[in-house]
Amino acid sequence: MEKAKKSRLLVVDDESTNIVILKRILSPFYTVYASTGGADAIDAATELMPDIILLDIVMPDMDGYAVITALKNIDKTKDIPVIFLTAMTNPEDEIKGLSLGAVDYIFKPFSRELLLKRVELHLQLKRYSSGLEKMVKEKTQMVCELQNAILETFAEIVERRDKTTGGHIQRTQRYLWLLVDLLIRHDIYREQLSSWDLNLYIMSSQLHDVGKISIRDNILMKPGKLTDEEFNKMKKHASFGMEIIESIESKTRKNSFLEHARLLASSHHEKWDGTGYPLGLKGEEIPLQGRLMAIVDVYDALTNDRPYKKAFPHAEALEIIINGSGTHFDPLLVEIFAMYEKTFEGLRQT
């Protein structure tokens, strides 16, 4: 049977006699490293990554308080449990040490049994908390994967019924990534965009047309141009989408993924001059989520076949978008789109 790996301890004390005593007690059970000064202890901790540090407080060059403060400021060492070993029994000193992040105090002179018990207890706590952390990470990952799978299926259901838009969701996601990336690079809406989790925003864009689930087959699947009445019914997909996402939101706690999804679904058909739907919002009243989607949604619709029209070539689609600047679309977004039109065209062809 393979022998269990020994836990590793770093003992820090300027008195070599103390180090000898500590090593004698601890070495039969643990791998023990020793440092006789603060600076050396920080180097050793960073290099060796011990499971626990036993740290003396009164040391000549750098005291234990300074050492623990430095360790807690280093990303790599900030989570290593530190136990103070000290002859100082004043409660204020103890509070100071604990508030600097020590997990425990052992007072000198200590008994062999007490030292071993306390060290073992803290090792157990450490194992337990890293096990817990690992479990939380795995569970979070699982929930994310599940959320993604449900989402994609949801989007596929919409897309499968709405046969005119095959591949629309994937393409608009690619255009959105490009547009958002260019805006950040050009310092446009940077503040707002950097407050978003962009992955969540792009992922949520899959739901922009989710309201089409509530549109009847004879309208959604009509193999030709819609009448005015039918088009008015079709327009309702924006508010239906908002209602669907609101209903999900009412069953869960506030989260930015659903907020992006709701704003996207409800505002991607609004127009800059206020003539869009469902609310007729104007300019920056229209959430940025929807203004971004509007431009990539229209570009994709123009450059693909629809039952009532053939796909327009890129140049023609570009012209329509440029002409829509300040009426249909946010002028700043059109400016960037036009500046990088070749990149969008390249992306369309991939």
Q: Which residues bind Fe ion (CB under 5 A)?
A: 209
Separation between Cα atoms, residue 212 and residue 206, nearest integer Å = 12
Separation between Cα atoms, residue 287 and residue 330, nearest integer Å = 11
User: Among residues 169 and 317, whose Cβ is nearest to Fe ion?
Assistant: 169
Q: Which two tokens stand for residue 33?
A: 């490293």
Separation between Cα atoms, residue 238 and residue 278, nearest integer Å = 7
Q: Which two tokens stand for residue 301?
A: 């619709």
The dihedral region occupied by 274, where left means phi > 0, alpha psi between -120 and 50, and beta the remainder, is: left
User: Among residues 13 and 209, whose Cβ is nearest to Fe ion?
Assistant: 209
Separation between Cα atoms, residue 79 and residue 45, nearest integer Å = 11
User: Among residues 72 and 236, whose Cβ is nearest to Fe ion?
Assistant: 236
Least spacing, CB of residue 136 vs Fe ion, in Å: 37
Whether the ω angle into residue 278 lies within 30 degrees of 0, i.e. cis, is: yes
User: Among residues 118 and 268, whose Cβ is nearest to Fe ion?
Assistant: 268
User: Among residues 46 and 239, whose Cβ is nearest to Fe ion?
Assistant: 239
User: Among residues 159 and 209, whose Cβ is nearest to Fe ion?
Assistant: 209
Report yes or no: 8 and 34 within 8 Å, Cβ to Cβ: no
Report yes or no: 89 and 64 within 8 Å, Cβ to Cβ: no
Least spacing, CB of residue 135 vs Fe ion, in Å: 41
Least spacing, CB of residue 275 vs Fe ion, in Å: 16
Residue nearest to Fe ion (CB): 209
Separation between Cα atoms, residue 263 and residue 288, nearest integer Å = 9
Least spacing, CB of residue 211 vs Fe ion, in Å: 8
Report yes or no: 84 and 106 within 8 Å, Cβ to Cβ: yes
Least spacing, CB of residue 302 vs Fe ion, in Å: 14
- 309: DSSP letter: B
Least spacing, CB of residue 147 vs Fe ion, in Å: 22
Strands (E) across the chain are located at 8-12, 31-35, 52-56, 82-86, 104-107
User: Among residues 209 and 300, whose Cβ is nearest to Fe ion?
Assistant: 209
Least spacing, CB of residue 209 vs Fe ion, in Å: 4
